[in-house]
């Protein structure tokens, strides 16, 4: 399960990178419209911050410090800067999973994120579904708002 999860996180981060790079108009990454309140850029920052915090920092003991508010208020970054965020997240995933023992998957996640205990495996599955939920939003955002 551990290696399957690593592969899925890395696969979907590659998809996120492809979505960001597929924008024809770089300014559209940060565009919002009508009831679309989160830009693809902010969703990208949110996803990378979320994974670097909950996987890289909490499980992997990295020195990453999350600023969740900044994920939704960061000034417009370039595609290159967003790609660096994604690359750093992939690195955090690999470093953490390299040192994560298989028996850790059934242990209790170190913090109570939702007000109740859950296993590491359960929370990693949640994080993967969260990544996919927002990845779908980024894809839809690009197709709706990337007008040249």
CATH number of the domain encompassing residue 47: 1.20.120.450
Residues 78-108: tens digit of each pLDDT: 999 999 999 999 999 999 999 999 999 999 9
What pLDDT shows up at residue 148?
62
70 has a pLDDT exceeding 90: no
Q: Do 124 and 26 touch, CB atoms closer than 8 A?
A: no
What pLDDT shows up at residue 33?
85
CA distances from 109 to 33, 49, 67, 79 (A): 38, 18, 21, 33
Give the number of other Cβ atoms within 10 Å of residue 77's Cβ: 18
How many whole angstroms separate alpha carbon 71 and alpha carbon 41?
9
Instruction: Give me the mean pLDDT over the 5-26 stretch.
Output: 97
Instruction: Give me the mean pLDDT over the 36-49 stretch.
Output: 94
114 has a pLDDT exceeding 90: yes
What pLDDT shows up at residue 147?
78
Where in the sequence is the domain holding 36, given as residue range(s)? Answer: 2-145
Residues 24-33: tens digit of each pLDDT: 999 999 998 8
How many whole angstroms separate alpha carbon 77 and alpha carbon 83?
10
Q: What is the tally of structural domains in the chain?
A: 1
What pLDDT shows up at residue 72?
87
How many whole angstroms separate alpha carbon 122 and alpha carbon 128?
10
């Amino acid at each position: 399960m551990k290696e399957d999860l690593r592969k899925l996180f890395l696969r979907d981060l590659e998809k996120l990178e492809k979505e960001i790079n597929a924008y024809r108009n770089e300014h559209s990454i940060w565009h919002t419209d009508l009831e679309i309140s989160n830009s693809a850029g902010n969703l990208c920052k949110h996803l990378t911050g979320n994974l670097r915090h909950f996987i890289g920092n909490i499980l992997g003991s990295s020195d990453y410090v999350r600023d969740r508010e900044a994920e939704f208020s960061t000034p417009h970054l370039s595609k290159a800067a967003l790609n660096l965020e994604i690359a750093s997240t992939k690195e955090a995933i690999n470093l953490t999973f390299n040192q994560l023992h298989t028996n850790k998957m059934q242990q209790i996640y170190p913090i109570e994120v939702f007000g109740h205990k859950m296993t590491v495996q359960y929370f990693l599955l949640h994080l993967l579904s969260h990544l996919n939920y927002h990845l779908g939003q980024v894809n839809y955002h690009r197709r709706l708002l990337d007008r040249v």
